[in-house]
Structure formats: C-alpha cells, structure tokens
Amino acid sequence: MPDTIFGQIAKGEVSADILYQDEEVVAFRDIGPQAPVHVLVIPRKPIATLNEAQPEDAELLGKLFLVAARVAAQEGIAESGYRVVVNCNAGAGQTVFHLHLHVLGGRPMQWPPG
C-alpha cells in the first residue's frame, strides 16, 4: 500500500501535533477539527480501511481504543463525554486510506450522526 499522509506522520516525515505515541500507535490533532477536541488515533501499521483489518490485528485494534480513552482523559473530556468514529470507505466519508479513529469531544454530540 502506498504511503498516505498518515503513514508519513507515523514515520515523522510530516509534522503533526502529536499527543501520544508508542511503537504501535500514534495520536495527533486533526488538521480540520470538527469539535473543540478532535484527535486521530492511528496504527503505525498501514491498514487502509477497517475492511482490511485481519484477525491478527485484533490486539492492535483494541489498543487503538485504549489510546483513544487515554487521550480523552488527557484532553479532559472523558467524564463529559466523547465520540469515537471510524469512517470506512468513501460512502462513509473516509478520505485518508490509513485506518484511524476520530476522537471528538468538548461539545454536545447529536444523534444520529449525519
């Protein structure tokens, strides 16, 4: 899979406002925030969409959610509430084909999402 902008951020080739990183996961602020807190959590492994995730990625997928919760706490939105969103493919609004969790909070969220 060719490198996306997120792959380049994960490798440190493109700068981002990074809030958390370890050997498997990177979390950074979205460039076009849709809420007062809008953080993206990505695996360093270049999985294009959730459809491409494999059974051997199960632990990594779980870790993405744990990092999302950690970042939410760090950003002070854990108790007020936040939303975690994965857009899968173009019809759902995915524009960057490197799996990512959106962590959104700091304002009331509507349901259902658009």
> Residue from 1, 11, 22, 31 that binds ligand DGP (CB under 6 A)?
31
Q: In whole angstroms, what is the distance from residue 59 CA to residue 92 CA? A: 25
Q: Shortest gap between Cβ of 71 and ligand DGP (angstroms)?
A: 14
**DSSP-assigned beta bridge partners for residue 37:** 105
> Residue from 49, 57, 96, 107 that binds ligand DGP (CB under 6 A)?
96
Q: Which residues contact 108 (CB under 8 A, 6 or more apart)?
A: none
Unique residue bearing structure tokens 């809030």: 19
Residue number with CB closer to ligand DGP (79 or 88): 88
- For ligand DGP, the binding residues (CB under 6 A) are 5, 16, 28-32, 40, 87, 93-96
Catalytic residues: 100
